Structures are given as C-alpha cells and as structure tokens.
Structure 1
Amino acid sequence: MSLFQNIVIILILIAGAGFLSLTEIALAGARKVKLKILAESGDYRAQKVLDLQENSADFFAASQIGLNAVAILGGILGEGAFRPYFLEFIRQFYQGPWADTIGFALSFTLVTSLFILFADLMPKRLAMIAPESIAISVINPIQVFIKICKPLAWFINVIANTLFRLFKVNTTREDNITFDDISAVMDAGAQAGVLQKQEHHFIENVFELEERTVPSSMTTRENVVYFTINESEESIRQKLAEFPYSKFLVCNGNIDQVIGYVDAKDILVRILNNQSLNQLNESTIRNVLTIPDTLTLSELLDRFRSTKEKFAVVINEYALVVGVITLSDIMITVMGDWVTPMEEDQQIIKRDADSWLIEGSTPIEDLKHALEIDEMPEEENYETLAGFMMYKLRKIPRPADIVMHGGYKFEVVDVDHFKIDQLLVTRLLEPNKNNEEESE
C-alpha cells in the first residue's frame, strides 16, 4: 500500500479508537440522577444508558476488544508505513548499525503519540465535560458495536467473572446517596454560584435535624413562663402583656407538676367577652405533649405531625421539666437568620471581624455556623457553649476562665449562680501550636 493509503487507514483507526474512548468515559461518568430526569422527560436514549450502566460488563469487554485491536493494528501499519521514510531520512546523516533501530523508534513514537493524543487524551477530556449528553448521543451506535463483539465479549466476561469469584471480589456497584454526597454537591453548587450562602446554610440545617437533639432548640427551664392552677387574674393579665407567647404551661405549684397548657388566644377571648379569669379550668386547659430530652428534632417533627400538636414539654430522665419547645422553634433552627428577629438579646453578637459576644446557652451547631468551625471536640457530650466550657475545664467555670480550640479563645465573661451567661470568643491571629489548652 502507498503512504497515502496507510495514512488514511491509520486516521480511520484513530477515529475509531477515539470514539470508543469517548464512549467509555461518557457512559461511566454519566450521573444517574441526571439520566433519570432525562428519561422521565421522555428521552428513551437516557433509559438505554441507565440500562447499560446496570449491565456494563458486555460494554466494557467490547470496548476493550475494540481499543486493543485498533491499537495493535495501528502499531503494525504505522511501523510499516513510516519506518522506511524515517530510515531513508536518517541515512542522509548516519549510516551506522543503529539506523534501523532509530527509524523504528521514530515511527513507533509518531504512531503512539497520534493515538495517545487523538484516540485517548482528547476524547476522554471531552467526555468529562458533558458525560450525560455524549452518552445519550452515542448509545445507539455503541449498542450495535456491542452486538458485533458479543461472542468474544461473552467468553472474556466468563473468565473475568470466574477470577472475581475466585478472589471473592464484589462487583456490585453501590449507588446509595449519603449525606456526605449531598453535602459535596451543595458545596460545589455554592462555589459555582448556583446556591447562595443563605440557601446553602438552610439546606445544611435541614439535614442537621437528624443529629440535633431537642435541648439544642428548646426554651430552657429558667426561661419558661407558666401559670399556676390558682393564678390570679391580675397575674395572668400581666404575663400576657409582658411575654408575647402564644402558649403557656399550667402547673400545680411548680414547673415540675405540669397539668397542661393554655392558648393565649383562648384567654384573650374570655377577656374580650368579659368572662372571669379567677381560675383556670378544663375549658381552657389543654393536654400537653411530653417528650424526652433525647429525641432528635427530626423525631420531634414526626411526633408533632402524628399528634397534630405544635407545643411540647421536654422531660429528662429524672422526670424534671428541662424546657418547652414549639414547631416554631424548629423552623427557626432550620431557617436561621431568615426568620430570627434581630433583637438586642440575640445569642451571638459580632463585635468586630475577630471577636464575638456569645451567650452560654447558644447551641453548639449555631456556634459552629457563626465561627465557621467544622467540628468541636467530642461534641456528643454537650449541647451548648456553656456545656463545652464545663466539659473542657472539668469544673464549674468562673469569670476569666479560658479554653483554646480551633484557633479561637473562649473566655468566660459573666457567670450568674453557676450559670455561664456570656463569653467572649476571639479569633487568634496566630493559632497556638497546642490547639486545645485550658487555664483558669
């Protein structure tokens, strides 16, 4: 054959190998989520790609048969086509015994470079750019190629499967989507500008409902406003005016003897109708949902859904009331700054770029978001910033006690009857080599 004929055949072989390389990467890299969306919209080719991914053994066997056959044939033709011309060119300058070897090396390098560039590197890089669209475009011709190679592919797969079973290799592909996978997708979307910072934060909070327990979002015991069963009308009116809550616990003497709760709307109706409030009774007191403090927020949402309630009392293992929680508290946890009013007594106050005043009752998850800390040490042992300080110091903190962690200094500012009211958190410009230190 002439040089021109050899070049044409080599170009055809390169094109065939490039097509197989393009197809291999596109079909392997096509994401099932996008393919399912395309299939549901009516693109039958997307469903063919999904079916091929489920049973990919025949395709990969056929692809490797084609690629190796083309590479071997290209090497044989290329070496025979270009070697005489390289040899003739070399002998103009060199007549020694190495002339044939140099001619072979040059022809081998040329053919190999052409196949690497145009049949391997470029097609694979193109396939990685848009794997789903390319996979859909090539699915019909690749199915024809698989049928052509079916007999030899079956034989190769039998040998491969035998070896896999012999060495106990699991060939089943796991396609379960985990929270880490979704988180990675959200991070990529945020970096690409598809998700705004607030939206990213909102989605993260939704998934955190499975991990955050009820105490992280409840109104704590000392902040619960309640009525006693014999509460005077004047006291009821004063509490309604002073505290803008929609629901109030009713207790028999103290907060640990819960009877039920009253809706502020019911009491206001009685006031508008000029009815007496001298004593709370069965017409106004409702049964209250009681829950353990070990429930997660996700479990509480299910409990609210099943009972049709929006208000619950949180009880600890000693049957003591530790707080109350409402559906609105959970929504505030999820929505964050979107629904949290900007009040003077907000839990986290940013003083400047590197320091914050933070209440001790601030949930750890809120602290991590505010300070952009990925993880707190052994955080399963506490729920709040005050709990973190007590856990690290191994004592009841006093003002000026300090804990270092993650490039931040946590300093106790105010303590009221053993309760940590406020801390000053400062970002360290030069993080201490000893990342976690404690001092008094």
Structure 2
Amino acid sequence: MFDTVAANIALVLLFILIGGFFAAAEIAMVSLRESQVRKLSQRGRRGERVAKLARDPNRFLSAVQIGVTVATMLSAAFGADRLAAQLVPVLEGWGVPVAVAPVLALVLVTLAISYVSLVLGELAPKRLALQRAEGLSLYVAPFLDRIAALSRPIIWMLSKSTDGVVKLLGGNPGADREEVTTEELRDMVVGHTDLTADERKLIAEVFAAGKRQLREVMLPRTEVEFMEADTPLSDAARLAATLPHSRFPVYRDTYDEVIGFVHVRDLLDPELTGRTEPISALVPIRAAKFVPASKRLLTTLNEMRDEGQHLAIVVDEYGGTAGIVTMEDLVEELIGDIRDEYDVEEDVVILPAGEIEIDGLTNLNDFATETGIRLPDGPYETLAGFVMAMLGHVPAAGERVEFSGFELTVTELDGRRIARVRVKRRQVVESPPEQDS
C-alpha cells in the first residue's frame, strides 16, 4: 500500500510541476520588454520563435492556459480519487467516525494539493520566471509553439471567444500592451539599484533635456559678441584676443543677417597680423547652422554632433536672430557646467546669512536647481524675465519682488537688462500677543 500511495503522490506532484512549468512560461513571455524581444529576435531560430510568440499573445496565452487547466484538473481529480480514498482507512484507524472520514479525507487532500500547487505550481515558478525571463523564454518558446500548433482548433475557438468578451467589456481585442510612459521610465531609473547616484542623475537630466527647447538654454542676442563682415582684421583680432570665445557670428548690416562665423585661429593667424582689410576678404567665413528657437535640445545636440557643428544661430518665429547655442552649452545641460580658466565669474555667489546672488539670465530650470525655488511658467525663460513680469516695468537697482516666501532683489543692471538678482528668504515678523486689559 505504501508503494501505491507514494506512486500516487509522485503523480500528483508531477501534474503540479507541469502546471508550474506553464505558469513560469506565461510570466516569462508576458514580462518580456519590447527591447528584449527585439534583441532576442536576432539570436537565431529560437530567438525568432520567442519574438513571434511574444507579438501574438493570444496564441501563447491560450496554449499556456490549456496546459495549466489540464495539469490542475488532473492533479485535483487524481488526488481526490486516489489519495483521499487511501487516506480514509488511516483516519478511521485514528478513531474518526466512518461517516465523517471520507469527507474529512477529501478536505485534507484538497487543502494539501492546493497548498503544494500554490507553492510549486504558481508562486515559485513565477518568481523564478520574473528573475530570468529572457533566458527562460528561449527554452519554453519552442514547446509552447508546438502546443499551440497541436491545439490550433481549440486555441482558435478560445481566441475568438476571448476577443468577443473583451469587445463586450469595452476593450480593443487588437490592442497591444500599454507603452511605458516617460514617468514610468524615470521611476524605473530612480529605483534601479545597479545604477550609481551619478548615473541616475545623468539619466534624469537626459529626460529633462528631452523636453527643453533652445529658447530656454540659448545665449540671447544681447549677450552675443557679433562681428561685422567689414570689420578690419586687426580690430577683429584685437577684440578676439580679449574674449574667451573661439567662434564669432559674422553679420552684414544687422544682427538678423548673419552670414556665418569666424574662428579665433583664423583671426589670430600670424601671417595676417596687422592687416586692415575686412575680415570677410581675408579669413574664411564658415557656414553657420540655423535652428528655430522651438527646436528640442537633444535633437539639436545630435544634429550638431553628426554635422560637426559647434555653434548654431537660433532664429525666432519672425526670422530674426534670437541668440546662439554652442555644443558646450547643450552638453552642459546634460552633465552640468564645464568651467575652464576663462570662466572667472561665478553665476551663483553664496552670501552671508544664507542669501544667494545669481545671474539674471539663469533659466528657470537652472534657478530651481541652484536655489530649490521653482518659479511658475510664463512668457519668459529666465529669472530676469520673471522679475520683470512681476514688476510690470523695467526695474531700477534695488527694486524687489516677493514670491513663495522669498525676496528677489535686483542688485545690478546691464543697460535695461537685469544682470544680477539677490535671493533671500523673507523674514516673518510675529506680532507680540495682546495683553489683557
């Protein structure tokens, strides 16, 4: 009898493990990301089969469900029929009444099979499949494909029935799984333990830069050092020697008619020292890249890299010159400031008492990073633009605005432009409690 019981238990365990195989196969296929599917499709015939199945969920889900259902049904029926009957005499020997023993045996066997099925047939296989989805899918896909081929009539009927129910419930039977959103990707990056803090920060900057437009990061035309095409070479070389820039936009008549740019190396060529002819006649005017102010930062960076351009002229919606961007400006938006020996002035200066003095041309995102204060969006891109919008006029030095518990004071002007702003937390003076008369 012991051999018979052991054989029956072994058969039940076999059916449970078969169900566990199908459960693991389902999770392995379902949890494959699109990037993994594309990679697997390039790994020979097995990989192609995985990709084919993954893109036809009705086919493999139906095959899996057939396998799980058959295995579960066999383990339950076999256990109830054989094991419960063999447990009845044991219970009767322990003093359980004859009328109660069959029912109790059935309940105990059902509970035992259910527990083992949950652990060995569901939870453990699915957890392992989640951890090794890519590798496991390569092994299970051929078997699932054969099961699906053999069960094609049943799968066809199940698929049509499923499509009908999905449509009845308001779903789209032909729709694929939902795409991962940008927010979900960002959350995945933040929670990824294999990435260092610097790597997570860099990826977060890439996500942020993907939404940013050139108007938010460009150097405005009022701050650009232009050179007129008719400028004598000696004057242009003298100016270039005093500035930290390597490239200068060249224009005719007005700043809106930029014809290209000159490189400082051409201006300081020893063979041309002292020449007074116009720069347009002596040095090469290199073709400039023109980009709209609404163009995305990352797109522009990729184009400039592919074209070997280090400077681009930003054009507004009216065709005029709005400013310039350089390769360095765009890279700095991803990895932070790149300072060299010519960058002598700090954009942000920490003052006593926790005050901060910051450049008025700081864009809103950089201002939030430096101070922790997020200014509202509006018809402006910089801190200076926000202050002007709040005041409603061109300010004088010393004028201030208040926002969200902070005081922003104009400390320096460059013509009519706000050059520097001091930021400090506003002091809240509490009135003394009133004395009882």
Secondary structure of 1:70's counterpart equals helix
What is the alpha-carbon distance in structure 2 between the residues aligned to residue 306 and residue 10 of structure 1?
A: 63
State the one-letter code of the partner of 2:51: L
TM-score normalized with structure 2 length: 0.77
Aligned amino acid, residue 48 of structure 2: Q
Please say which of residues 326-335 and 5-14 is displaced more in the overlay.
Answer: 326-335
Over 3 Å counting, the alpha-carbon distance change for 1:367 and 1:275 in structure 2 is same
- Residues 223-244 of structure 1: per-residue CA shift (max 9 Å, x gap): 2223456657775454222212
How far is 1:120 from its partner?
0.9
Task: Output the CA distance in 2 between the equivalents of 1:112 and 1:48.
Answer: 34
Cα displacement string for residues 69-126 of structure 1 (whole angstroms, at most 9, x for unaligned residues): 2222322222331366367537846649766544433232112111111111111111
Tell me the residue number matched to 1:56: 57
Alignment of 1:144-183 (within 5 A): 144-165=146-167, 169-171=171-173, 172-174=175-177, 179-180=182-183, 182-183=185-186
Aligned partners of 1:87 and 1:103 also within 8 Å:
no
| 1:242 alignment partner AA | T
| Residue ranges of structure 2 left out of the alignment (5+ in a row) | 428-437
2:233·2:267 contact (CA, 8 Å) conserved in 1?
A: no
Partner of 1:432: none
Determine the structure 1 residue equivalent to 2:420.
Answer: 421
> In structure 2, what is the equivalent of residue 222 of structure 1?
222
CA 259–89 in structure 1, closer or farther in 2 if over 3 Å, else same = closer
Corresponding residue for residue 382 of structure 1: 380
> 1:116 and 1:307 mapped to 2: Cα distance?
59
Aligned-pair distance for 1:319?
6.3
Aligned CA RMSD, in angstroms, stands at 4.1
Give the TM-score normalised by the residue count of structure 1: 0.76
Paired residue for 1:114?
Answer: 116
Q: CA deviation at 1:360?
A: 2.4
Does the CA-based 8 Å contact 2:311-2:327 persist in structure 1?
yes
Q: Which SS does the other structure have where 1:77 is aligned? A: helix
- Conserved in 1, the CA contact under 8 Å of 2:232 and 2:279? no
- SS of the counterpart of 1:192? coil
2:57 alignment partner AA: S
8 Å Cα contact 2:40/2:50 also seen in 1? no
For the pair 1:277 / 2:280, whether they are aligned, the reply is no
**Residues 227-376 of structure 1: matches in 2 within 5 Å?**
227-228=227-228, 235-250=235-250, 255=255, 261-269=261-269, 272-277=271-276, 279-284=278-283, 286=285, 291-298=291-298, 300-301=300-301, 310-316=310-316, 321-337=321-337, 339-341=338-340, 343-349=343-349, 357-370=357-370, 376=374
Retained in 2: the 8 A contact 1:232–1:279? yes
Contact 2:225 2:248 in 1 (8 A): yes
What's the CA shift string for 1:133-158, capped at 9, x where partnerless?
11112223333333343332232223
Q: CA deviation at 1:57?
A: 1.9
Distance in 1, Cα, partners of 2:245 & 2:37: 49
Partner of 1:411: 408
- Write out per-residue CA displacement over residues 242-288 of structure 1, whole angstroms, 9 at most, x where no aligned residue: 2122233455677567676443333222x533452265444447365
Paired AA for residue 78 in structure 2: L
In the alignment, is the contact (CA less than 8 A) between 2:362 and 2:383 conserved in 1? yes
Post-superposition offset of 1:64: 1.5
The total of aligned residue pairs comes to 416
